[in-house]
Amino acid sequence: MPSFLTKLLDLLCLPGKWVSWLILPLIASILIAVVAAKMGVNTFAAWDSPIPVLGRAMTVNGLFDLQWYIFALLVLFGGAWALRDDKHVAVDFLSLMMTQRQRLWIRMLGDLLFLLPFCLIIAWYGWSFALTAWTTGEGSTQGGLNSRWIIKAMVPLSFAILGLMGLLRGLGTAAELLRGSTDKDQKDLS
């Protein structure tokens, strides 16, 4: 793959690397929520005027919402990182029976014909999903976090990044196939 494409793929992985650090606040929020629920504490802090995202109080339900927000970010942005490093789900028993060149063809066609259109559809319709949450002021009705539009806006953003990654990876694979740089054209059983 050309080096400039590799650098672009690395750049697209940055959001995944950044949100990977949210695993620490996720663990802390789970521990705090479990202890607070066991002790019967519901509200940690309350204030008079609403604060964006938090509303008028920080509650156990707010921590539960925070947990699924963080988990969603980890999954959404971690997907691009996993794709770049080939850590995504693959049908290995089939690919082991193929030559390197055949695997590259499958990867290119999968990226360009399946991944890219899927990501475009999710990104396209995801914006209206997030916009609806913004215009209606959607938030938790159970004392959790407000401003659901923030997490819903991450869906089209992350799928746009994933789609761009699929496009770049598909083009890079096509360049490899055109150059004929696949030296290992025999079956690789390792």
Tell whether the model's pLDDT for residue 189 goes beyond 70: no
Mean pLDDT of the residues in the chain: 87
Give the tokens for residue 108. 């290119």
pLDDT in the model for residue 137 = 85
Q: Is the dihedral of CA 133, 135, 140, 144 positive or negative?
A: positive
Tell whether the model's pLDDT for residue 190 goes beyond 50: no
> DSSP E strands: which ranges in 52-121?
55-59
pLDDT in the model for residue 86 = 79
Segment 97-126 mean pLDDT: 93
Q: Is the dihedral of CA 26, 28, 29, 30 positive or negative?
A: positive
Partner residues linked to 57 by β-bridges? 46
pLDDT in the model for residue 59 = 87
Weakest mean pLDDT among 11-15, 120-124, 183-187: 183-187
To which H or E segment does residue 47 belong? strand 43-51
What share of the chain in percent tops pLDDT 90?
Answer: 54
pLDDT in the model for residue 93 = 73
pTM, two decimal places: 0.83
Residue whose structure tokens are 């949210």: 22
What's the CA gap between 81 and 93, in Å, rounded?
Answer: 23
For the segment 20-77, what is each residue's pLDDT rounded down to a tens digit?
999 999 999 999 999 998 999 988 888 898 888 888 888 888 888 889 999 999 999 9
182 C-beta neighbours (distance < 10 Å), count:
15
What's the CA gap between 162 and 140, in Å, rounded?
Answer: 28
Residue ranges covered by each domain of the chain: 3-179
Do 143 and 57 form a contact (C-beta atoms < 8 A)?
Answer: yes
* Residue 95: band (very low, low, confident or very high) from pLDDT cuts 50, 70, 90: confident
